[in-house]
A = this chain, B = another copy of it.
């Protein structure tokens, strides 16, 4: 992992360039496909990168997402995309921006975000959430140990290690608890606040732990980024506590290698339909 390089595939594939005031072009890469759609965390990274780029035009004070909420309208596809931004309030320690990702005339997602500088926040830490007790990565399962057959192209972007007690879904032994977790890291890049938006929607939907395979379309995803992550693996855990009405909430925690809770995310998603076939 050469963190000093600028050539990480994630960075090149979320890159944006300004084409008009408040408007940024991107090229969505097919390496982030899950079944027939681009991953929602990847799209959120592209959109977040456009917001960061827009705010940099206003000054240096808001480089990091503090909170972002995305509403997914239609499935993203590889190819050209455009992010249109609108400043809502800039000033003081935070700035708020609306942003939308289009492909052609089709709206893929619409979002709101508040950015600030995580290097400048107070140094108090009083976290009572408990860090998941995963075994060390080398004692967890990797994809080389076998699994549920062909994985979507998306998962080839990461090193992933699954704790034995959270991998029953992959072994044909679903459980009763809606929980899934893994050590994750991008092959060629250390975590940073922006890439936490990717990790917040990178694992399969937690419904898979119950044996419900299939795509679980996200209606809404909100991510709170709470600290600059330390280098190394991140530990990602997703749980659901309320599956009802054909929908479920999915809570995601991201812990960095120093044991700090660096991000919390929650999404509302539709439960997989019995006729959908892939994660």
- Write the nearest CB–CB distance from A102 to chain B, whole angstroms: 12
Q: How far is the CB of A42 from chain B (nearest CB, A)?
A: 20
Choose among B67, B71, B128, B243 the residue that contacts A220 (Cβ–Cβ < 8 A).
B67
- Taking CB atoms, residues of chain B closer than 8 Å to A268 are 66-67, 224
Instruction: Chain B residues near A111: list those with CB within 8 A.
Output: 112
The interface bits of chain A over 226-239 (1 if a CB of B lies within 8 angstroms of the residue's CB, else 0) are: 11000000000000
> Which chain B residues lie closer than 8 Å to A122 at the CB level?
245-246, 271
Q: Is A219 an interface residue (CB 8 A)?
A: yes
Chain A 126-140 per-residue mask, 1 if CB under 8 angstroms from chain B, else 0:
111100000000000
Chain copies in the assembled complex: 2
Task: Tell me the bound Cα distance from A127 to B178 in angstroms.
Answer: 10
Contact of A241 among B98, B123, B127 (CB under 8 A): B127
**Residues of chain B with a CB closer than 8 A to A126's CB:** 243-244
Known: A114-B220, A219-B114, A222-B222. A129 touches B88 (CB 8 A): no
- Determine how close the nearest CB of chain B comes to the CB of A210; give it in whole angstroms: 8
If A124-B244, A264-B242 touch, does A219 touch B107 (CB 8 Å cutoff)?
A: no
Question: A171 within 8 Å of B by Cβ?
Answer: no
Docked-complex contact A222 and B94, CB < 8 angstroms: no
Known: A127-B242, A127-B244, A244-B124. A222 touches B224 (CB 8 A): no
- Chain A count of residues within 8 A CB distance of the other chain: 48
CB-based contact B107/A89 at 8 Å: yes
Q: Which residues of A come within 8 Å of B, CB atoms?
A: 66-67, 69, 71, 73-74, 88-89, 94, 96, 98, 107, 110-112, 114, 118, 121-129, 177-178, 219-220, 222, 224, 226-227, 240-247, 249, 261, 264, 266, 268, 271
The 7 closest A-B pairs by CB, nearest first: A122-B246, A121-B245, A69-B69, A129-B241, A126-B243, A125-B244, A67-B220
Q: List 28 A–B pairs whose Cβ atoms lie within 8 Å, in order of A's numbering.
A: A66-B247, A67-B71, A69-B69, A69-B71, A69-B112, A71-B96, A71-B114, A73-B89, A73-B96, A110-B112, A121-B245, A121-B247, A122-B246, A124-B244, A126-B243, A126-B244, A128-B178, A128-B240, A129-B241, A129-B242, A220-B224, A222-B222, A224-B249, A224-B266, A226-B244, A226-B245, A242-B261, A249-B264
